[in-house]
Amino acid sequence: MEKSTLTKEQRREKREIKRQKQRENNVLRAFKMHKLRLASNIPSPIRPPAPEGTTYHIGCSGWFYWHWRNAFYPEGLATKDWFAHYAQTFGTVEINASFYSWPTETTVMSWIKQAGLKKFVYTVKVCELITHTKKFEGTEELVKDFGHIATILGDRMGCFLYQVPPSYHYSPAKLKAIVSQLQTGQRNVVEFRHGSWWNEKVYTALKEANLIFCSCSAPRLPDELIKTAEDIYIRFHGKKAWYRHDYTQDELKEWAKRIQQAKAKTVWIYFNNDFGGDAVKNAKALARMLKSKL
Which CATH number fits the domain that encloses residue 115?
Answer: 3.20.20.410
In a domain, 45, yes or no: no
* Spatial distance between the Cα atoms of 26 and 20, rounded to a whole number of angstroms: 10
Q: Per residue of the chain (294 residues), what is the pLDDT tens digit?
A: 344 687 877 788 777 788 788 889 899 999 999 999 999 877 666 666 666 779 999 999 999 999 999 999 999 999 999 999 999 999 999 999 999 999 999 999 999 999 999 999 999 999 999 999 999 999 999 999 999 999 999 999 999 999 999 999 999 999 999 999 999 999 999 999 999 999 999 999 999 999 999 999 999 999 999 999 999 999 999 998 999 999 999 999 999 999 999 999 999 999 999 998 999 999 999 999 998 887
Total number of domains constituting the chain: 1
- DSSP label at residue 2: P
Contact 158, 131 (CB under 8 A): no
Whether 252 is in a domain gets the answer yes
pLDDT recorded at residue 22: 87
* CA 186-190-196 angle, 5° bins: 155
* Burial of residue 154, with CB atoms counted within 10 A of its CB: 0-12 exposed, 13-18 middle, 19 or more buried: exposed
Which are the contacts of 114, defined by CB distance < 8 A and separation ≥ 6?
83, 84
- The CA–CA distances, whole Å, from 121 to 66, 131, 182 equal 23, 23, 21
**CA 104 → CA 21, 28, 100, 160, distances in Å?**
16, 10, 12, 16
Domain that includes residue 125, residue range = 8-40+53-289
Quick check: is 193 in a domain? yes
208: in domain: yes
pLDDT at 293: 81
Could you tell me the pTM of the whole model? Answer: 0.93
Which string of b and e fits 183-201 if b means at least 16 CB within 10 Å? eeebbbbbbbbeeebbeee
Q: How far is CA 166 from the centre of its chain?
A: 16
Name the nearest CA neighbour of 159 among 59, 242, 245: 59
Give residue 48's pLDDT: 63
pLDDT given at position 45:
65
